[in-house]
Amino acid sequence: MIKLYGYWRSSASYRVRIALELMGVDYDYVSVNLRTAEHRSGDYLAKNPQGLVPMLEFSDGTQLTQSLAILDYMDSEFEGPKLLPRDPIARAQIIAAASIVACDTAPIQNLRVLKYIRAEHDQDDAGVKAWAAHWIADGLSKLEKTLALDSYAFVGSQDPGYLECVLIPQIYNAERWGVDMSRFPILSGINSHCLALEAIQRALPENQPDAG
């Protein structure tokens, strides 16, 4: 059985959970508690010296890290519905749209960055919230405008996949940090559609065994 090392509130773990559920893959969930720094413990670092989740582990011991690499691998190697379009231009457009979130947004409002600005830049709760909300709104605004292009019209008519794996966790964070999602009607529409699906409900942070 495949093992997913993750944490309920990690966005990158949530991406991979959505992908596993959309593709109908059975897996064991291994919680790595980021709050108690299990990801920086010797046991976990020996497996993954990046000290990050998620990590996917196959029964032969092969380990894959980094959510985008895992999604790419799953799309090409796993049975089940595909995560990426077969058309090369549409594929590139989806990867580009997901990169607006995965490269230009999520990393800047990551927990370790928030901890740093609190400690090193003397930011209080309001300052931390302002930082997270600023970068999330900036990224989602770029994505909303991109998905509004004619060349992205196909996104609305296809089943959730790679883009949604990355987007749904980002919107979860947006709501957590008080970003006004009504500014982003295309993204909000995708989110509502996805959250109504049983597969994505199984992947929700609050439905994980380590939630709390």
Q: Are strands 55-57 and 63-65 parallel, antiparallel or unpaired?
A: antiparallel
Which one of residues 49, 150, 198, 209 is an interface residue with a copy of itself (CB under 8 A)?
49
Q: Are strands 2-6 and 27-31 parallel, antiparallel or unpaired?
A: parallel
| DSSP assignments along 5-60, one per residue | EE-TT-HHHHHHHHHHHHTT--EEEEE--TTTTGGGSHHHHHH-TT--S-EEE-TT
Query: Binders of a copy of itself: how many residues, by CB under 8 A?
Result: 48
d(CA 136, CA 138): 5
Regarding 93 and contact with a copy of itself (CB under 8 A), the answer is yes
Q: Which is nearer to a copy of itself, 30 or 103 (CB)?
A: 103
> Which residues ranging from 68 to 87 are in contact with a copy of itself (CB under 8 A)?
68-70, 72-73, 76-77
d(CA 63, CA 16): 14
To which residue do tokens 């594929």 refer? 91
Which one of residues 35, 115, 145, 193 is an interface residue with a copy of itself (CB under 8 A)?
145
Which one of residues 30, 96, 181, 199 is an interface residue with a copy of itself (CB under 8 A)?
96
Structural tokens at position 12: 């990158």
Which one of residues 16, 18, 19, 100 is an interface residue with a copy of itself (CB under 8 A)?
100
For residue 114, the Cα-to-chain-centroid distance in whole angstroms is: 18
Report, in Å, the least distance between residue 209 CB and a copy of itself: 26
Regarding 142 and contact with a copy of itself (CB under 8 A), the answer is yes
Regarding 16 and contact with a copy of itself (CB under 8 A), the answer is no
Instruction: Give which of 74, 76, 97 is closest to 154, Cα–Cα.
Output: 97
Regarding 104 and contact with a copy of itself (CB under 8 A), the answer is yes
Regarding 36 and contact with a copy of itself (CB under 8 A), the answer is no
Binding site for a copy of itself (CB under 8 A): 49-52, 62-70, 72-73, 76-77, 88-89, 91-93, 95-96, 99-100, 102-104, 106-108, 113, 116-117, 120-121, 123, 127, 130-131, 134, 142, 145-146, 148-149, 151
